[in-house]
Amino acid sequence: MCSRTSRNSRTGRPRSIEADTAILEATRAALVDLGWSKLTMGDVAGRAGVAKTTLYRRWANKNELVVDAVAVLFDELELPDLGSLRADIEHVVLQFAALLERPETKTALMAVVAESTRDAPLRERIRASIVDRQKRLVLDGRRRAQQRGELPSDRDPTTVEATDDLIFDVIAGAVVHRALVSAEPVDGQWVARLSALLVGGLGAVATLGE
Amino acid sequence: MCSRTSRNSRTGRPRSIEADTAILEATRAALVDLGWSKLTMGDVAGRAGVAKTTLYRRWANKNELVVDAVAVLFDELELPDLGSLRADIEHVVLQFAALLERPETKTALMAVVAESTRDAPLRERIRASIVDRQKRLVLDGRRRAQQRGELPSDRDPTTVEATDDLIFDVIAGAVVHRALVSAEPVDGQWVARLSALLVGGLGAVATLGE
Amino acid sequence: MCSRTSRNSRTGRPRSIEADTAILEATRAALVDLGWSKLTMGDVAGRAGVAKTTLYRRWANKNELVVDAVAVLFDELELPDLGSLRADIEHVVLQFAALLERPETKTALMAVVAESTRDAPLRERIRASIVDRQKRLVLDGRRRAQQRGELPSDRDPTTVEATDDLIFDVIAGAVVHRALVSAEPVDGQWVARLSALLVGGLGAVATLGE
Amino acid sequence: MCSRTSRNSRTGRPRSIEADTAILEATRAALVDLGWSKLTMGDVAGRAGVAKTTLYRRWANKNELVVDAVAVLFDELELPDLGSLRADIEHVVLQFAALLERPETKTALMAVVAESTRDAPLRERIRASIVDRQKRLVLDGRRRAQQRGELPSDRDPTTVEATDDLIFDVIAGAVVHRALVSAEPVDGQWVARLSALLVGGLGAVATLGE
DNA sequence: GGCTAAGCGAGACGGTACGTCGAGTCTTGGT
DNA sequence: ACCAAGACTCGACGTACCGTCTCGCTTAGCC
């Protein structure tokens, strides 16, 4: 989460662990109250009952702090087996949409992505903390569908990975775009249509390389 | 573009039209050089050879200015008839990806979307200046495919509109997510897979309501 | 009062005379309401129902305008013959003190004097519009006292002038200092003491050159 | 000099003492170079090698800063015993005139007095920092003259104080008026006349109450 | 009675300074 | 070595006024 700058952290007073969690909670609370652009380090420090120094000892800047504060929320997403690929997709899409409704996620996610376009370390942190961690959902869903026989078994592993990535970008992208850019509700109808599109299209993608 | 606050503009010195265009150009240039978060009103004013006051007389804040400066870039997108739905999709996706590669777009788009989550007027401005204007691409592509017989003709107009919206969110969202969040290249292979998914899936969506 | 810039003012629309007086009145009103430092040209123009351009066509800047607006107030001072030098002095001192109590005078006088320390034209304007015009009071008072026999008749005219100047600076300076710097009331007792000092001291000054 | 806003200054980084003196020196230098009206807080900060915030943390505005910066100059005035009341007066008047010739004093004194007409706290600050501190000169001079037998000993203490105040206002006011309003030199002749007036008049003031 | 030159109200313009705020760093004394 | 507190530098913010300019529209006097 936050890196130790000193090579040997045996000596000296150890960092307070409560401070870490208090800061992250305070960051999320500040995001809810103020949104990304009005959130200040001083305010977060104040809410956490901590000095600004303590924040900067742990995170290099506002962006990295917010990524860490928000990343954990994405771990709530899970993929219970609902018996069909389509049901699994609909479930995870609704979960993801609910997550994007929360003000701390809504305001923070696009902001850090925007910052990351000019900040490679931040981009890496986002990828590691959020993006790559959630690809598991696509992998699990696809494997399960293969076990059920809804999808053909793997042939070329690179093709499989490329398709996984595509599905991930399509689902995540479509939901984000619907919720934040188009600013329309992600409701049952829309989700049904999206999953129909995906399930129907996956066959066509699979036969592409042949 | 920028609203007149005074009800009657007959009297007094009229606003300089050159200033308007100079400011928008300067804004794009500053986005290229500095990115969203480092862009300052003072810097834009300086580049445009204009006083800061002149900026604030026309735009209430950085966000609205940037939306106006960037919106025009999206009008470059067009949809030449390439003979098949799939070719049309691939073409517009590549165009859009190229647009997102430009630093002024890349850095600005997500930032203003992030801000818009807490700013309804800005959200409206984005929708009016960017989102709704580009839906025309989906409409044209769909109509053309229907004329070609690639897609069935319209039955229920609300279903058609919902599908158009879905396709718009899926295409735009997937490309943005691929380019900015996953930070992977939108290359020919990826585009081919995406368009295969869409063309293949559209049939499934069409038969959904039956 | 205000100079004509054009060499020949025969042609063209003549300047509005009402504007002149309206501006000076508005300036005094603004001085009362806002004081010197908060007074703005725009506000004066607004009060006078006049465009800013009209102000600048007549006065080069805020300082000169204020000098003209305030100067006329000093012309109220007069010296009725009260029968003795001492009574005359007490009367004019009380008059001057009353003038300095008025907010427009109080706030403006010291301000323009302060500005004049770095602005020779303004210094000249103050001298011409205010200082030199009020020296008449000292001259009249002295002549009258000589006629009454309270003071010896003139011998050396330069000595007389120097003494007049001294008395002027002492009276004006003492009252201003009492009222504005020490910020104590100029009451009957104080005035009595001051006039006693002056009347008593004038003899000593007269015998100085011998 | 500058008030501590926080009640308990034990904690946190203490204020830099060098900053205080650097700011006051820079203020005087800026007064010399630019005069009162052109002096800006940003410029002072720059000269002092200090951030603007640091100025505002210590002084609420330009006026208070300038009073503090200039007040110390008045402490240079002193009253060596020259053997006679008249010599003492002439000496202090010349000293004061020399002080008023210095550009930092000349430009600042009247300006802050002008501002003080609308700003009671500033008026109090001027009184405490400048006016009351320099009344000592009058007190010392009067006591010394009494010891020499040039003036009668004290009878009524309130009369004495009133006369001290009068002399203070007359001397300070006359010199300021001569130097800044009339804008004439305070030379030996003028000083001789002024001290003759005072010494001659003091007797008359003393016999006033009887 | 039309011409012309200046005046006029309105308000945008380029500047400059304001006073505030936030970022991120540094310096205390104390744990 | 940690911590809370708070002062520090730096730089941008959005506002206010300055004094100038550009409009379209009077308003006089002279031909």
Q: What does the pLDDT look like over C93-123, one tens digit per residue?
A: 999 999 999 999 999 999 999 999 999 999 9
Query: D4 pLDDT exceeds 50?
Result: no
Please provide the CATH number assigned to the domain covering C70-207.
Answer: 1.10.357.10
Query: B135 pLDDT exceeds 90?
Result: yes
Token look-up 């990535």 returns A165
pLDDT of residue A210: 55
Q: Is the CB of residue C170 less than 8 Å from the CB of residue D182?
A: no
How many Å lie between the alpha carbon of A78 and the closest alpha carbon of chain B?
A: 20
Residues A142-151, mean pLDDT to the nearest whole number: 95
Whether chain A lies against chain B with 3 or more Cβ pairs closer than 8 A is: yes
Give the C-alpha separation, B124 to B115, whole Å: 12
Residues of chain C (96-155) having a beta carbon less than 7 angstroms from strand F: none
More confident residue, B86 or C1: B86
Q: What does the pLDDT look like over D112-163, one tens digit per residue?
A: 999 999 999 999 999 999 999 999 999 999 999 999 999 998 778 999 999 9
Q: Is the CB of D3 under 7 A from strand F?
A: no
Residues A84-98, mean pLDDT to the nearest whole number: 97
More confident residue, C11 or B202: B202
Per the prediction, chain B carries an average pLDDT of 93
pLDDT of residue D154: 75
Q: Is the CB of residue C137 less than 8 Å from the CB of residue C59?
A: no
Residue nearest to nucleotide F18 (CA to C1'): C41
* Residue from the list B174, B199, B200 with its beta carbon closest to the beta carbon of A169: B174
Residue C200 has which token pair? 């008593």
b or e along C110-142 (b: 16 or more beta carbons within 10 Å of the residue's beta carbon)?
A: bbbbbbbbbbeebbebbbebbbeebbebbeebb
Nucleotide F13 C1' to residue B65 CA (A)? 16
pLDDT of residue B141: 97
Query: D5 pLDDT exceeds 70?
Result: no
Please list, in sequence order, all residues whose beta carbon lies within 8 angstroms of the beta carbon of residue C102, skipping any fewer than 6 positions away: C73
Give the C-alpha separation, A147 to A135, whole Å: 19
Q: Is the CB of residue C120 less than 8 Å from the CB of residue C49?
A: no
pLDDT of residue B7: 47
CB contact under 8 A, B198 and A193: no
The pTM score is: 0.90
pLDDT of residue D91: 98
Percent of chain A with pLDDT over 70: 94
More confident residue, C39 or A156: C39
Q: What does the pLDDT look like over D25-82, one tens digit per residue?
A: 999 999 999 999 999 999 999 999 999 999 999 999 999 999 999 999 999 999 999 9
Where are the CATH 1.10.357.10 domain residues in chain D? Answer: 70-207
Q: Is the CB of residue A133 less than 8 Å from the CB of residue A142?
A: no
Token look-up 């991930």 returns A168
CB contact under 8 A, C162 and D201: no
The single-letter DSSP state of residue C129 is I
Q: Say which amino acid occupies B75.
A: D
Nucleotide E6 C1' to residue C15 CA (A)? 9
Query: B90 pLDDT exceeds 70?
Result: yes
Q: Backbone phi, then psi, for C13, in 5-degree steps? A: -70, 130
pLDDT of residue A7: 42
Name the nt closest to A57 by C-alpha to C1'.
Answer: F2
Where are the CATH 1.10.10.60 domain residues in chain C? Answer: 13-58
pLDDT of residue D209: 62
Burial class (CB in 10 A: 0-12, 13-18, 19+), C10: exposed
Give the C-alpha separation, D54 to D50, whole Å: 7
How many Å lie between the alpha carbon of B46 and the closest alpha carbon of chain A?
A: 23
Question: Any idea which architecture B13-58 has in CATH?
Answer: Orthogonal Bundle (1.10)
Per the prediction, chain A carries an average pLDDT of 92
pLDDT of residue B4: 44
D168 CB neighbours in chain C (<8 A) are 182
CB contact under 8 A, A118 and B177: no
Q: What does the pLDDT look like over D51-64, one tens digit per residue?
A: 999 999 999 999 99
User: Which value, in Å, is the radius of gyration of the alpha carbons in chain D?
Assistant: 20
B178 CB neighbours in chain A (<8 A) are 169, 173
The residue of B102, B151, B182 whose CB has the most chain A CBs within 10 angstroms, and thus the best one to mutate to test that interface, is B182
Cα dihedral angle (A194, A198, A204, A207), rounded to 10 degrees?
170
Q: What does the pLDDT look like over B155-167, one tens digit per residue?
A: 789 999 999 999 9
The single-letter DSSP state of residue B94 is H
Nucleotide F22 C1' to residue B5 CA (A)? 20
Q: Is the CB of residue A57 less than 8 Å from the CB of residue A6?
A: no
pLDDT of residue A207: 82
Cα dihedral angle (C87, C92, C94, C97), rounded to 10 degrees?
-160
CB contact under 8 A, B116 and A180: yes
CB contact under 8 A, A203 and B199: no
